[in-house]
Structure 1
Amino acid sequence: MVQVRDQSHLRPGGEVDLDQWLQRLPVQLQASEQARLLGACRLVETVRQQPGVDAGDWAREMDCFTAGLDTAVILAELQVGCECLVAGMLYRALREQRLTPEQVEAEFGKPVVTLLEGVVRMAAIGELRGSSDGPVLGQALGQKDNIRKMLIALVDDVRVALIKLAERTCAIRAVKNDEQRRLPVAREVFDVYAPLAHRLGIGQLKWELEDLSFRYLYGDAYRKIARLLDGKRVERDQFIAKVKAQLTQVLSNAGLSFEIGGRAKHIYSIWRKMQRKGIGFSQVYDIRAVRILVPEIRDCYATLGLVHGLWHNIPNEFDDYIANPKENGYRSLHTAVVGPEGKVLEVQIRTFDMHEEAELGVCAHWQYKGTDAPNKLASTYEEKIAWLRQVLDWHDETGDVGEVAEQFSFQTAQDRVYVFTPQGDVVNLAQGATPLDFAYHVHTEVGHRCRGAKVNGSIVPLTYTLSTGERVEILTSKDGVPRRDWLQPGLGYLRTSRARAKVQHWFRAQTREVNIAAGRSLLEREFKRLALTSVDYLRV
Structure 2
Amino acid sequence: MLRQYELVERVKEYDPDADEAMLNRAYVYTVQKHGTQTRASGDPYFSHPVEVAGLMTDLKLDQETIATALLHDTVEDTLATIDDIEVNFGGDVARLVDGVTKLSKIEQMPENERAAENLRKFLLAMSEDIRVLLVKLGDRLHNMRTLHFIKKPEKRERIARETMDIYAPLAERVGMYEYMREMQLLAFEQLEPEAFATITKRLEQLRDKGGGQVDAIALKIKQALAEAGLSVEVSGREKHPYSIWKKMAERHVSFEQVTDIMAFRVICESEADCYNVMGLLHRTWQFLPGRFKDYISTPKNNGYRSLHTSLMYENSMRVEVQIRTREMHQLNEFGLSAHWSYKQGDRPDGQVGWLRDLIEIVDASHDPEELLEHTRMAIYQDRIFAFTPKGALFQLPKGSTAVDFAFAVHTDIGDQTVGAKINGRHIPLRTQLQNGDVVEIIKGKNAVPQMSWLSFVVTGKAKAAIRRAVRLKERGEIVAMGQKLFDQIINQVPAKIGKKAMREALKRLEMEDDDDLYFAIGASDISDRDVMEALVPGCTEAMPERPEWSKTGKRLSIRGLTPGVGFTLADCCHPVPGDKIVGTRRSGEKVEVHAVDCHALASGIDSDWIDLSWGRQSAGAVGRIRVTLYDRPGTLAEATGIFAQNNANVRELERAQYDPPFQSYDANLEVKDLAHLNRIVSALRASDAIASAERI
- Bin for the TM-score computed over the shorter chain: 0.5 to 0.7
Q: Any conservation in 2 of the 1:26–1:76 contact (CA below 8 Å)?
A: no
Q: Distance in 2 between matches of 1:88 and 1:208?
A: 19
Structure-1 residue corresponding to 2:242: 268
Cα 1:367–1:217 shift into 2, 3 Å: same
Q: Structure 1 counterpart of 2:14, which letter?
A: Q
Per the TM alignment, residue 353 of structure 1 is displaced from its structure 2 partner at its CA by 1.8
Contact 1:186 1:216 (8 Å CA) reproduced: yes
5+ residue gaps, structure 2: 359-374, 382-396, 413-462, 480-506, 543-696
- Residue 40 of structure 1 corresponds to which residue in structure 2? 26
Counterpart of 1:38 in structure 2: which amino acid? Answer: N
Q: Aligned match of 1:97 in 67, 70, 78?
A: 78
Match of 1:128 among 106, 109, 125: 106
Unmatched 5+ stretches in structure 1:
1-6, 10-16, 414-427, 445-478, 488-496, 522-540
Describe the shift of the 1:63–1:95 C-alpha distance in structure 2 as closer, same or farther (beyond 3 A). farther
Distance between the aligned counterparts of 2:156 and 2:89, measured in 1?
33
Structure 1 match to 2:57: 76
Q: How far does the alpha carbon of each residue in 1:78-111 deviate from its partner, in whole angstroms, 9 at most, with x for none? A: 2211001101001122220242222211211111
Matches within 5 A, 1:347-358: 347-358=321-332
Instruction: Give the structure 1 partner of residue 87 of structure 2.
Output: 106
TM-score (norm 2): 0.52
Once residues 398 and 517 of structure 2 are traced to their aligned partners in structure 1, the CA distance between those partners, rounded to angstroms, is 33
Asked whether the equivalents of residues 214 and 268 of structure 1 are also in contact (C-alpha less than 8 Å), the reply is yes
Within 5 Å, give how 1:355-504 maps onto structure 2.
Answer: 355-366=329-340, 372-375=344-347, 381=349, 384-387=350-353, 389-390=355-356, 395=377, 398=380, 480-483=508-511, 486-487=513-514, 502=519
TM-score by length of 1: 0.66
Match of 1:153 among 114, 124, 128: 124
Q: Tell me which amino acid in the other structure corresponds to 1:308.
A: H
Deviation per residue, 1:350-369 (Å, 9 max, x gap):
1212211221011123488x
Q: Residue 302 and residue 162 in structure 1: after superposition, are their counterparts in 2 closer, same or farther (change >3 A)?
A: same
C-alpha contact (below 8 Å) 2:56/2:135 kept by paired residues: yes
Q: Deviation of residue 373 (structure 1)?
A: 3.1
| CA-CA distance at 1:71 after TM superposition | 0.5
- Which residue matches 2:199? 225
Q: Distance in 2 between matches of 1:296 and 1:513?
A: 80
Q: 1:43 to 1:366 in 2, by over 3 A?
A: closer
In structure 2, do the counterparts of structure 1 residues 222 and 331 end up closer, same or farther at CA, with 3 Å as the change threshold? same
Q: Which has the higher contact order (CA 8 A, sep 6+)?
A: 1
SS of the aligned residue for 2:14 comes to coil
Deviation at 1:510, TM superposition (A): 6.7
Specify the SS of the correspondent of 2:311.
strand
Report the alpha carbon displacement of residue 128 of structure 1 after superposing the two structures with TM: 3.5
Is this contact kept in 2: 1:75–1:166, CA < 8 A?
A: yes
2:150 matched residue in structure 1? 178
> Higher strand proportion, which one?
2
Which one has the bigger helix percentage?
1
Aligned Cα root-mean-square deviation (Å): 4.2
* CA deviation profile, 1:52-97 (whole Å, cap 9, x unmatched): 7x9xxx6363433101111101111222110011010011222202
Counterpart code for 2:130: V
Equivalent position amino acid for 1:175 in 2: L
Aligned 1:164-203 pairs, distance under 5 A: 164-180=136-152, 181-203=155-177
Q: Which amino acid aligns with 1:502?
A: F
Structure-2 residue corresponding to 1:527 = none
Instruction: Describe how 1:14-25 pairs up with structure 2 within 5 A.
Output: 17-24=3-10
Q: Aligned partners of 1:354, 1:120: CA distance in 2, in Å?
A: 32
Q: CA deviation at 1:204?
A: 1.6
Query: Which amino acid is 2:248 matched to?
Result: M
Q: Which amino acid aligns with 1:481?
A: L
Query: Which of 307-316 and 81-90 deviates more?
Result: 307-316
8 Å Cα contact 2:170/2:379 also seen in 1: no
Counterpart selection for 1:282 from 256, 259, 279: 256
Return the offset for 1:212: 0.6
Alpha carbons 1:135, 1:187 under 8 Å: kept: no
Identity %: 27
Q: Which moved more, 1:195-204 or 1:145-154?
A: 145-154
Aligned letter for 1:69? V
Q: What letter matches 1:164 in structure 2?
A: K
Cα 1:412/1:62, change in 2 over 3 Å: farther
